[in-house]
Amino acid sequence: MPAENRRSTRAFLPDPIAPETLREIFAKAQRAPSWCNIQPWRVAVTQPPFTAQLAAACTSAAKSGFPSSDLPFPLDYPEPYLAHRRACGGALYQAMGVARDDKAGRYDAWLRNYAFFDAPHVAIVSVDRRLMPYALIDVGVWLGMLLDELDGAGIDSCPMASVAAYPAPLRAHLPIAETDAILFGLALGHADPHAPANACRTTRDPVDNNVTFVQASRPDSR
Ligand SMILES: Cc1cc2nc3c(=O)[nH]c(=O)nc-3n(C[C@H](O)[C@H](O)[C@H](O)COP(=O)(O)O)c2cc1C
């Protein structure tokens, strides 16, 4: 069941989640379907205090290094994706009180990704490079199910492709095979209800913008 109320959390309280609760949720997400049932998601989940050590290494890499994600990030977003992307960033900066021309404020907000928004746990998700590109769909299906399981258990989260831009500290500290491509991180914990960033809300297009309910074949395709 897609969760109506699930949303990304970008400021966490320090309280950890019980290891057995985390294990149970990830075990439920194992039910995700995948092509030929290959189950390609590979995940490393951290506990405190190690999460903060990893965050320090990632923040340092983001401050001083050049981004070099295992998979290329999109460079240009054509419409309508560009408008969605701008609205998403605009909603976050507005919630945080960061003005459009406040470069330092935007930089600080971006750096928060690498601190995993102070979450007590982060899951780093990768996939075997030899299975591209269809295994990416399988990992996306798994992520969707995992987000729903987390939401159902009252655990807040934020997927973060941003952390994949600096794979070196992740590889240095986590069991990630060279043959695997790092895809994204997932911050996990409980939202700080008073943090401005958590007031961010996003919208969705009406269903007809994405889904065409076809009545009959096109006359010109016969
Ligand atoms: C694969 C993936 C990667 C994402 N990467 C980031 C990220 O790096 N930083 C961030 O703040 N949010 C990230 N997000 C969260 C999206 O911005 C968010 O899901 C979207 O704006 C919709 O908002 P909602 O999750 O609150 O409904 C990511 C989401 C997904 C699914």
- HEC string for 54-87: HHHHHHHHHHHCCCCCCCCCCCCCCCCHHHHHHH
User: Which residues of 56-173 form beta strands (DSSP E)?
Assistant: 121-128, 156-160
Residue 158 has pLDDT above 60, yes or no: yes
Residue 180 has pLDDT above 90, yes or no: yes
The mean pLDDT of 125-146, rounded to a whole number, is 97
Report the nearest-CA residue for atom 17 of ligand 1: 88
Give the residue from 128, 116, 126, 127 showing the smallest Cα distance to 156. Answer: 116
DSSP result, 31-61: T---GGG----EEEE--TTHHHHHHHHHHHH
- Looking at residue 216, its pLDDT comes to 86
Band the pLDDT of 218: cuts 50, 70, 90. Answer: confident
- Which of 5, 6, 7, 8 should be mutated for ligand 1, with most atoms under 8 A from CB? 8
Say which amino acid occupies 154. Answer: G
Residue 32 has pLDDT above 80, yes or no: yes
Give the predicted TM-score (pTM) of the model: 0.96
- Looking at residue 39, its pLDDT comes to 98
Taking the C-alpha atoms of residue 70 and residue 160, their distance in angstroms, rounded to an integer, is 14
Which protein residues touch ligand 1 with a CB less than 6 Å away? 7-8, 10, 88, 113, 158-162, 184, 202
CB 59 within 8 A of CB 183: no
Residue 222 has pLDDT above 60, yes or no: no
Residue 44 has pLDDT above 60, yes or no: yes
Give the residue from 176, 189, 171 showing the smallest Cα distance to 118. Answer: 189
In the numeric block, which tokens belong to residue 168?
């070196």
CA of 142 to the centre of ligand 1 (A): 15
CA of 162 to the centre of ligand 1 (A): 9
Residue 38 has pLDDT above 80, yes or no: yes
- Looking at residue 2, its pLDDT comes to 58
Residue 26 has pLDDT above 70, yes or no: yes
Cα angle 214, 217, 220 (rounded to 5 degrees) comes to: 130
- Looking at residue 136, its pLDDT comes to 98
Taking the C-alpha atoms of residue 170 and residue 182, their distance in angstroms, rounded to an integer, is 9
| Percentage of residues of the chain with pLDDT beyond 70 | 97
Mean pLDDT (the chain) is 96
Band the pLDDT of 210: cuts 50, 70, 90. Answer: very high
Strand order in the sheet with 42-45: 42-45, 121-128, 180-189, 156-160
CA of 88 to the centre of ligand 1 (A): 9
Residue 26: CB atoms within 10 A of its CB come to 17
